């Protein structure tokens, strides 16, 4: 139904990248002069034609295939793992990775994919982020060549699902204090024995390969391990689902309980030690979140605008005529437009190797904060009707709160920025 544009663009992009000057942005030529509330500051002028084509593929898929599933998924906390398979068919997973059957697109293109997915639901985007940025991204950046070849092609197709185990029950904002540990396996030679527990792990209950971070007993340093579910002896790995969530209900979240799992040495990442590894993966994921949440906000704007034009009160005027309603729309539209430009800028810098981690802290934090604040304000326009999930706005609000708290709660990123600005640590 959808032609996998990304696959096609792989070749195009590779060809293009050979002759392309890094840093030269080809602007889309035919933007209209008129103001477009869907793209208020003309960001579409900044994308390459390939990027626009990829965005279109992603948008079509998301609106036509994902959107119809989301209400039931959210109501019942059910995640359809086929979604990742479908995305894999379109080349949307691990899309920035070059080689290994991945599309090798620009960071901006991957941002546009993310935005398209989160326009439908932040939970769906979370499921994809984990697969693409955290699991595949981690393997691509830190894995051995053998690990990459073993996992990435299947993951790109959505046949092998991954997850990312960093956060522990008692160590949310402070993963350096983690308690999970890898010791030499007492009986199996060439194996580590992995124990500990992780929580709030998106996709853990359905993951085939779990990228788990644990301290290597010998060194006390954090290392990355690829745990293959089907190779775990019974009783060593449990990944119970965490239900009764009040947000991201269309994604699946769970724990990872590890009780002396034997993991072969060749499943450990070879060189990376300490928090640099997981933080680098998180950086990629956060970059995606910065794009994604604007998608959710844009959906909220579109739905609110439509509601305000249709809803009539007091002498038959649409409530879109009220100043208080227009101001909410103006504020939200502004923040969406600004958020896209900032995410775009960091995307381009990322591909040029110039994106400092604090830049990503900044856009992750600001875009999540503004998406949340504005979506909440827009929700007011729906009055009492907002309580019905069929208007979708409440779902975005619930989801966006979670995006503000995960992968670095807003205040944590504020202090990361504060440290970068002042040179002084304030996590006392």
By CB under 8 A, what part of segment 46-75 binds a second copy? 46, 71, 75
Compute the distance between CA of residue 309 and CA of residue 334 in angstroms, rounded to an integer: 19
User: If binding is defined by CB under 8 A, does position 322 make contact with a second copy?
Assistant: yes
Site for a second copy in 139-198 (CB under 8 A): 167, 170-174, 177
Identified catalytic residue from 51, 140, 298, 407: 407
The neighbouring-strand residues paired with 241 are: 254
Q: Which is nearer to a second copy, 157 or 215 (CB)?
A: 215
SS3 state at 102: strand
Compute the distance between CA of residue 168 and CA of residue 179 in angstroms, rounded to an integer: 8
Whether 359 and 408 have beta carbons less than 8 Å apart is answered as no
209-216 vs 162-165, strand pairing mode: parallel
Among 18, 19, 33, 271, binds a second copy (CB under 8 A): 33
CA nearest neighbour of 107 among 367, 351, 345 = 351
Q: How far is the CB of 418 from a second copy (least distance, A)?
A: 3
Q: Which is nearer to a second copy, 26 or 229 (CB)?
A: 26
Estimate the crossing angle of helix 357-381 against helix 323-351, to 10 degrees: 160
Distances (CA, A) of 112 to 137, 158, 294, 371: 17, 19, 10, 16
SS3 state at 84: helix
Scan for tokens 């008129």, then name that residue: 34
* Segment interacting with a second copy (CB under 8 A) among 136-144, 184-192, 212-220, 310-318: 310-318
Site string for a second copy, 359-398 (x = CB under 8 A): x--xx-xx---------x--xx-xxxxxxxxx---xx-xx
Q: Give Dmax (Cα) for the chain.
A: 80
User: If binding is defined by CB under 8 A, does position 257 make contact with a second copy?
Assistant: no
Site for a second copy in 198-227 (CB under 8 A): 200
User: If binding is defined by CB under 8 A, does position 27 make contact with a second copy?
Assistant: yes
Site string for a second copy, 76-105 (x = CB under 8 A): ------------------------------
Whether 328 and 380 have beta carbons less than 8 Å apart is answered as yes
User: If binding is defined by CB under 8 A, does position 24 make contact with a second copy?
Assistant: yes
Site for a second copy in 117-146 (CB under 8 A): none
Among 43, 120, 232, 400, binds a second copy (CB under 8 A): 43
User: If binding is defined by CB under 8 A, does position 351 make contact with a second copy?
Assistant: no
Q: Which is nearer to a second copy, 122 or 147 (CB)?
A: 122
State yes or no: is 407 an active-site residue: yes
User: If binding is defined by CB under 8 A, does position 426 make contact with a second copy?
Assistant: yes
Among 7, 8, 37, 183, binds a second copy (CB under 8 A): 37
Give the gyration radius of the chain's Cα atoms.
22
Q: Which is nearer to a second copy, 87 or 320 (CB)?
A: 320
Q: How far is the CB of 145 from a second copy (least distance, A)?
A: 26
Whether 212 and 223 have beta carbons less than 8 Å apart is answered as no
Total residues contacting a second copy by CB under 8 A comes to 115
User: If binding is defined by CB under 8 A, does position 248 make contact with a second copy?
Assistant: yes
Written as six digits, the tokens of 323 are 């100043």
Beta strands in 36-106 (DSSP E): 98-99, 102-103
Any idea which residues carry the catalytic annotation? 407
């Amino acid at each position: 139904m959808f032609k996998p544009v990304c696959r096609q663009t792989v070749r195009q992009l590779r060809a293009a990248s050979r002759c392309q000057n890094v840093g030269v942005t080809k602007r889309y030529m035919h933007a209209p002069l008129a103001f477009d509330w869907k793209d208020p500051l003309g960001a579409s002028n900044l994308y390459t034609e390939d990027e626009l084509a990829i965005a279109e593929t992603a948008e079509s898929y998301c609106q036509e295939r994902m959107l119809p599933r989301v209400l039931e998924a959210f109501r019942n906390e059910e995640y359809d793992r086929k979604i990742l398979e479908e995305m894999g068919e379109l080349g949307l997973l691990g899309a920035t990775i070059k080689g290994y059957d991945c599309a090798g697109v620009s960071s901006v293109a991957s941002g546009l994919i993310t935005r398209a997915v989160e326009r439908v639901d932040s939970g769906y985007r979370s499921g994809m982020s984990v697969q693409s940025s955290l699991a595949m991204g981690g393997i691509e950046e830190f894995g051995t060549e053998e690990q990459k070849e073993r996992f990435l092609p299947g993951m790109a197709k959505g046949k092998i699902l991954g997850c990312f185990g960093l956060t522990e029950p008692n160590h949310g904002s402070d993963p350096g204090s983690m308690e999970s540990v890898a010791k030499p396996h007492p009986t199996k030679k060439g194996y580590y024995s992995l124990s500990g527990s992780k929580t709030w792990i998106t996709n853990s209950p359905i993951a085939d390969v779990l990228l788990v971070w644990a301290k290597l007993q010998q060194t006390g340093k954090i290392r990355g391990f690829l745990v293959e579910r089907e190779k775990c002896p019974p009783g060593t790995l449990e990944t119970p689902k965490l239900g009764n969530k009040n947000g991201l209900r269309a994604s699946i979240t769970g724990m990872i309980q590890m009780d002396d799992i034997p993991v072969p040495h060749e499943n450990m990442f070879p060189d990376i030690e300490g928090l640099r590894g997981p933080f680098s993966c998180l950086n990629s994921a956060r970059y995606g979140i910065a794009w994604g949440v604007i998608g959710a906000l844009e959906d909220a704007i579109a739905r609110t605008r439509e509601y305000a034009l249709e809803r009539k009160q007091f002498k038959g005027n649409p409530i879109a005529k009220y100043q208080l309603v227009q101001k909410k729309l103006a504020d939200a539209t502004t923040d969406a437009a600004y958020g896209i430009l900032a995410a775009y800028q960091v995307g381009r810098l990322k591909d040029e190797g110039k994106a400092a981690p604090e830049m990503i802290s900044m856009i992750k934090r600001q875009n999540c904060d503004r998406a949340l604040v504005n979506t909440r304000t827009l929700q007011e326009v729906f009055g009492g009707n907002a309580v019905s999930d069929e208007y979708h706005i409440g779902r975005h609000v619930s989801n966006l709160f979670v995006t503000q708290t995960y992968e670095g709660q807003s205040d944590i990123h504020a202090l990361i920025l504060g440290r970068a600005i002042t040179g002084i640590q304030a996590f006392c």
